[in-house]
Structure 1
Amino acid sequence: MAMRWEQLAKRQPVVAKMLQSGLEKGRISHAYLFEGQRGTGKKAASLLLAKSLFCLSPSGIAPCLECRNCRRIDSGNHPDVRLISPDGGSIKKEQIEWLQQEFTKTAVESDKKMYIVEHADQMTTSAANSLLKFLEEPYPGTVAVLLTEQYHRLLRTVVSRCQVFSFRPLPPTELAGQLVEERVPPALALLAAHLTNSYDEALALSQDRWFAEARTLVLQLYEMLGKPALQLLFFIHDRLFPHFPEKYQLDLGLDLLLYIYRDLLHIQAGRMDSALYQDELDRLQRWALSCPQRRILDSMDAILQAKARLNTTNMSTALLMEQLALQLKR
């Protein structure tokens, strides 16, 4: 779904205010650098800026999102709005030279041209030096937007030629609140907001039936730790594994398990409001009463070690989960 200015103002108020002010005053910079973590809305904001510049039926500075130009920008087909992305792991000099040639041409449909360079930190040195040349001598009516998650990897001379906007991750509670506004159940919204700081990812995750079932299974796994070992292992193979066939899914499941132990610590410290499994407080309180703090900390450490092994070794996921479950049971 295309971003609107009111949405950007909610997620990135400082960025939205400065861009809106520039548009209203007709003082758009020739080059911007949008920096921040993945999922903070940098690309969506750059496309929103493009639509505000090229929209055929704007309301003030707000694009209509319906006209031919708005639709072509969203689909990547507008002749005066170009997106450059890494080719084979890096942005090469040839790509920037092509961009320079495009800069020299007259805009096809208006007096403006805009270029978005995605993952600008992945430019080769020669590509960055080529980019620097036309950032130093911008062509009239052109706007460049560089996007990066690795601000420190860019040449200082490139950064100095841009107006820098920092995109901050939303605090999980604010992100969860926005998800709830989209009718996501609060119990899922809070967990999804802690698993990713990307609004789009958190929304997709919390609306996925798989995620709701994963949450239920992980709570059941904690309960099964009190059962005989054979029963516990049967649950892992019969119920858990079929739901987490991929490593990334199992990694997410381990995060959900880690949050249970995190909640137990908060409850023992009297911080009930900090629990993520808010709809399971009765069960969590019972579990917290029967689980010493030292055991909780050891269990959290064991889960973190399992996550590290999952992502750095070729160890069988079945063996890894069996070992972890027996370790947590002890």
Structure 2
Amino acid sequence: MTDWKQLEERQPTVVRMVMNSFKKDRLSHAYLFDGGAGTGKKDIAVHMAKTYFCQERDGIDPCQTCKDCKRVDSGNHPDLHLVEPDGQSIKIDQIRKLQKEFSYLGVESNKKVYILNHSDKMTTQAANSLLKFLEEPGKMTMAILLTEQKQHILPTIYSRCQVLTFRPLSVSNIEKELVNEGITSQLAKLASQLTNDKGKAKELATDDWFAQARAIVIQLTEELKERPHQVFLTIHDKWLAHFKEKSQLDMGLNLMLFWYKDLMKIQLQDERIVYADYKDKLERYALQFPRKRISEHMMAILDAKRRLSANTNPQFVMEQLVLRLREG
């Protein structure tokens, strides 16, 4: 169950500002949460609503057990309204529906909270309609607008909100959260290196395709060192059969790049390696690889990524890459 302490680990500056507002009873009538996907905007907005509605909270901490807290958790609190884009945009009819709700007293109390996800996707008509609420807010009504592109928010709306900027999540933070959700440390470590969007990282780490991709990359790097005569068979039978799309091929090369980065880190006595479960083997390989050779391998992989982005035939790119890695 999410609490302020966990959220503070994700977004310390934002959460401290929000917590301070609760402590001083100086909540704004409208917030604009600006930040990339997966940075925790929605989680913090919902937890703000829970704290706002909870009548049995301890300081700023919601009790988590009362009727209001449970309804927020289940997504059916009658005075918490979450608006998502209808198709590609938030339309004026959705805002008008909210305005109609504005005119009613709260079902449980006079408090109301409205969360507009992807608020930058409001149509011009919807945004102009929303201005009425922002200009004449109800005394106990709070709006929280979430956006990944604040430049698309109307200046008249932007100026009426308290803007809080969400920073990208750190690699270690994403990894920790994934592990806490039951994902193996091996996959959590790898997925957190590929994206700072926790949602996308979780999607990757729970996909069997990703686990298989990791295994194929490790097999290929081991064969390049120990069984070089087998690498072309692996490329044709496993690599090209698994990494079919351009984005998948690029990811496969990224996973391979992390292996050689780990070799470099071990030589530099940096313990923050990605393939930590293969540490013993990496340490053995690191003793056999001159640093210059590791750098050349990394450059070869980066060159393969560039050639793939230029639409060079994937089979040709991979065959040329393993030739270079085998010769190095």
TM-score when normalising by structure 2: 0.83
Distance change in 2, residues 1:283/1:206 (3 Å): farther
How far apart, CA to CA, are the structure 2 residues paired with 1:96 and 1:73? Answer: 21
- Give SS of 1:140's match: coil
**Structure 1: 5+ residue stretches without partners:** none
1:207-230 Cα deviation digits (max 9, x unpaired): 66664443222111223446667x
* Larger deviation, residues 277-286 vs 214-223: 277-286
1:38-80 Cα deviation digits (max 9, x unpaired): 1111001111011111125423322233333223223332221
Q: In the alignment, what sits opposite 2:316?
A: 323
Give the drift of 1:189. Answer: 3.7
Q: In the alignment, what sits opposite 1:149?
A: 148
* Larger deviation, residues 243-252 vs 155-164: 243-252
- Give SS of 1:99's match: helix
1:148-194 Cα deviation digits (max 9, x unpaired): 11122212221111111111123223443555667765544432221
Give the drift of 1:127. Answer: 1.5
Amino acid at match of 1:281: L
TM-score when normalising by structure 1: 0.82
Amino acid at match of 2:275: Y
Maintained 8 Å contact 1:264/1:285: yes
Distance change in 2, residues 1:43/1:302 (3 Å): same
- Give SS of 2:300's match: helix
- Give SS of 2:34's match: strand
1:301-323 Cα deviation digits (max 9, x unpaired): 312543x46xxx8x9xxx62x23
Q: In the alignment, what sits opposite 1:104?
A: 103
Q: In the alignment, what sits opposite 1:282?
A: 283
Maintained 8 Å contact 2:56/2:66: yes
How far apart, CA to CA, are the structure 1 residues paired with 2:75 and 2:182? Answer: 31
Q: How many residue pairs get matched? A: 318
* Larger deviation, residues 110-119 vs 199-208: 199-208
Maintained 8 Å contact 1:82/1:114: yes
Maintained 8 Å contact 2:260/2:297: no
How far apart, CA to CA, are the structure 2 residues paired with 1:3 and 1:305? Answer: 44
RMSD: 3.1
Amino acid at match of 1:277: Y
Maintained 8 Å contact 1:113/1:142: yes
Q: In the alignment, what sits opposite 1:118?
A: 117
**Structure 2: 5+ residue stretches without partners:** 324-328
1:66-122 Cα deviation digits (max 9, x unpaired): 333223223332221111111111111221122112112211111101100000111
Paired-residue identity, %: 46
Maintained 8 Å contact 2:307/2:317: no
